[in-house]
């Protein structure tokens, strides 16, 4: 049973503390490590719940055991279905976004979409790119457009969509992780802002604010496969560009997350042992298996 409790406890801690972690960590740490830890938690929870259910059915036949096993297996199946459904929607959205990109003319390194809605976002993948609408282009100065393109290039270069999708899929599998994807998404915006600020922090802050104002009239809803320059908490982002936060605990937070990843990985290996013991029993007795 500890094999189930460990990913459950770490998942709960992550769900509650993800926002606080992001405040103390560098954006790159949050974007990369939170999804990895979330995915490990979700997969370990699923596999350990399945392992416990199989162990109960195989070694402790009885009404109560079978009922508990049925609950665990149903929960695992529902979670898996939710994760697969999410991945299917992501694929559909990405295919639609890629088809849209292929229909657009490529101009000076980005794709120009005729639209009265001021917007700009990046579409990952071979057929993707950076999409800027005519309304957004006309709303920004040349310098602001350069910052916007640098921001979107950072999203593509660092595969931000991929990390967000990992966090979202983990949250679909493990309900306690639901706050994590938003935290990762906001950190990805901050990371892209920092890269776009190479030419000057105030110019970047001005560009972020200008893009947000231009987009404020937009009613378009984006899928999670795209990342918009004007997305996230714009006030927070502008403030962070003008007055960058000091992060004295950044290394400690990163080290703690790496240790947590190692511990959950160890838990996953223990779960693999349990499954192996259940399906291919060797010398151990069932009650010892259950006590792991
Ligand atoms: Zn962005």
Distance, CA 152 to ligand 1 centroid (Å)? 6
Which has more pLDDT, 122 or 107? Answer: 122
Q: How many domains does the chain have?
A: 1
Centroid of ligand 1 to alpha carbon of 160 (angstroms): 9
Q: Is the pLDDT of residue 88 over 90?
A: yes
Query: In which band, very low, low, confident or very high, does the pLDDT at 30 lie, cut at 50, 70 and 90?
Result: very high
CB 33 within 8 A of CB 258: yes
Residues spanned by the domain of 24: 2-290
Residue-wise pLDDT tens digits, 227-238: 555 555 888 898
Q: What is residue 108's predicted lDDT score, i.e. its pLDDT?
A: 79
Confidence (pTM): 0.85
- State the helix-helix crossing angle for 160-173 and 63-102, rounded to 10 degrees: 150
Q: How far is the CA of 174 from the centre of ligand 1 (A)?
A: 26
pLDDT at 291 over 50: no
* Better-scored residue on pLDDT, 85 or 231: 85
Q: How confident is the model at residue 54 (pLDDT cuts 50, 70, 90)?
A: confident
Widest CA span in the chain: 73
Per the prediction, the chain carries an average pLDDT of 86
The pLDDT of residue 254 is 95
Residues near ligand 1 ion, CB 5 Å cutoff: 189, 192, 227, 229
| DSSP notation for 181-244 | HHHHHHHHHHHHHHHHGGG-HHHHHHHHHHHHHHHTT------TT-EETT-S-HHHHHHHHHSP
pLDDT computed for residue 229 by the predictor = 59
């Amino acid at each position: 049973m500890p094999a189930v409790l460990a990913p459950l406890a770490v998942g709960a801690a992550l769900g509650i503390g993800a926002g606080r972690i992001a405040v103390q960590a560098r954006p790159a740490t949050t974007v990369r490590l939170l999804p990895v830890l979330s995915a490990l938690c979700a997969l370990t929870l699923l596999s350990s719940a399945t392992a416990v259910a199989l162990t109960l059915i195989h070694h402790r036949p009885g009404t109560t055991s079978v009922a508990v096993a049925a609950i665990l297996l149903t929960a695992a199946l529902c979670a898996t279905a939710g994760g697969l459904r999410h991945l299917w929607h992501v694929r559909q959205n990405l295919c639609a976004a890629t088809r849209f990109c292929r229909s657009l003319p490529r101009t000076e390194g980005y794709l120009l979409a005729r639209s009265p809605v001021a917007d700009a976002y990046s579409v990952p993948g071979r057929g993707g790119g950076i999409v800027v609408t005519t309304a957004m282009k006309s709303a920004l100065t040349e310098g602001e457009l350069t910052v916007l393109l640098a921001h979107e290039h950072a999203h593509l270069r660092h595969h931000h969509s991929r990390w967000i999708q990992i966090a979202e899929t983990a949250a679909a599998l493990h309900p306690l992780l639901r706050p994590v994807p938003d935290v990762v998404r906001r950190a990805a915006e901050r990371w892209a802002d920092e890269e776009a600020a190479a030419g000057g922090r105030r110019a970047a802050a001005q560009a972020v604010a200008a893009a947000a104002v231009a987009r404020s009239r937009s009613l378009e809803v984006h899928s999670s496969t795209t990342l918009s320059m004007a997305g996230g908490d714009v006030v927070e982002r502008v403030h962070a560009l003008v007055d960058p936060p000091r992060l004295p605990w950044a290394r400690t937070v990163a080290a703690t997350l790496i240790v947590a990843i190692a511990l959950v990985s160890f838990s996953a290996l223990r779960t693999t042992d349990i499954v192996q013991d259940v399906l291919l029993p060797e010398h151990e007795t069932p009650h010892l298996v259950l006590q792991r």
